[in-house]
Structure 1
Amino acid sequence: MGLQRRYLLAAGVAVAAAAAMAVSTGLGFADSATTAPSVCPGSITFSAEAGTPAATSDRFPVGTRLRVTNLDNDRSAEVTVVGPSGSCVLLNSAAMELVREPGKNVIRRNVVEQLGEAAAPPGVAQPGGGQPDEVGDRPGSASPPASRPATGSACQGAITFFEEAATPGATSDRFPVGTRLRVTNLDNDRTTTVTVTGPSGSCVLLNAAAMEQIREPGKNLVRNNTVEVLR
């Protein structure tokens, strides 16, 4: 009889534990939901450009609709790609405000979903098109004409930065940690040499210190650039 009681007691404990797990999962204590795969790997940052919520991209054509979700606060923004950049998705200021947490300029845990494509809005340049009415680095400005082509660059598209208090550095979705890169702003011939310190959603994403070494005053993007791999 003592042995039978012990078996019955053990079975009762197992049933109770299973019931508790089921209840906790139903209440959201256990994470059973699956997350859709993201079409853009790595962190997301923004270009500091004004305007309604929008994005630029080196992967999706103008007119593509994307949904960007911050997994740390479950806030989402639906944006349209309006031009090229050096990132899979680079939000503008208005879009970033919709999804970021206070004081944070990078969204490390995120999901980007492609919602579909649409016709390019009038006056918006296609990536690489070089039309004179392409959106510039400041509201109402146009991108300056290239002083010389960025031939042989290891990264294509505009370069931006993320806020980080550190010595000049960069992150990348293409080059491994430790890779040394030379980034040159062809509009002012200023150069910075940086080491890749981690992953991001861009071919090269400078930190604030590196950006200060090459950008022109008031501009948060370096559109006319070349990136060399020094290794």
Structure 2
Amino acid sequence: MRRTYRRPGRTGSNRKIVIGLVVAAVVGGGIAVGTGLSNASSVCDGMDQAIRNNQEFIATQRANPNSQTEAIVANRQAVIDLINVQKKQAGCSGAVAAPPAQQATTKPPAQQATKPPAQATKPPAQATTPPANNGGGAAGQVVCPGSTVTLSGEGGAPAASSGTFPIGTTLRVRNLDNNKSITVKVASTSGSCILLNNAAFEEVREPGKFLIRRAVIERVG
């Protein structure tokens, strides 16, 4: 009778090792993919927020038009178009819905003045001095606490736009996530506390991010 001898080995152990390596490779790949998707999502979210900021500003301008409304709206629409191009290059999908149209703010109708009776005596007028408007805070004070900072999409030298502070105001923005800061002047109007143009935002942002969630905004002299 012919006997067949089984060659000794560790077939079961080898199979376990191979399966373990495959699982580790799949898990490792999943972590890498997950991290990449997280970074991509942050980039797309930041650009979407920049588009919303500009859309809200356009809606406000159209609801309360003036002699410069058309030029301002055209400029902001050009910024939105540029950000959409950047979104496409970054692989971001989905369009940002335009905000609902705002109603124009109207002044209440003037009330008809009634002539007081002849015997009524008019009280002496008291001079009142309205408090000075300092644009949201004195020099050296932190303003717009809790506000996120994103980009306006505008080019040129480092500058900012704001709907809270008048043109010419100097603001310092510090990114608490990397401790980088920049001091800029408000050069245009927007619908947010502060938006940084491309050059200014590049100085303080974290690589690959288009939104600063933890920022300190300070008005300087």
| TM bucket normalised to smaller | 0.3 to 0.5
TM-score by length of 1: 0.39
Q: Considering fraction of residues, name the structure with more helix.
A: 2
- Pick 1 or 2: higher relative contact order, CA cutoff 8 A, min separation 6: 2
TM-score by length of 2: 0.40
Q: Considering fraction of residues, name the structure with more strand.
A: 1
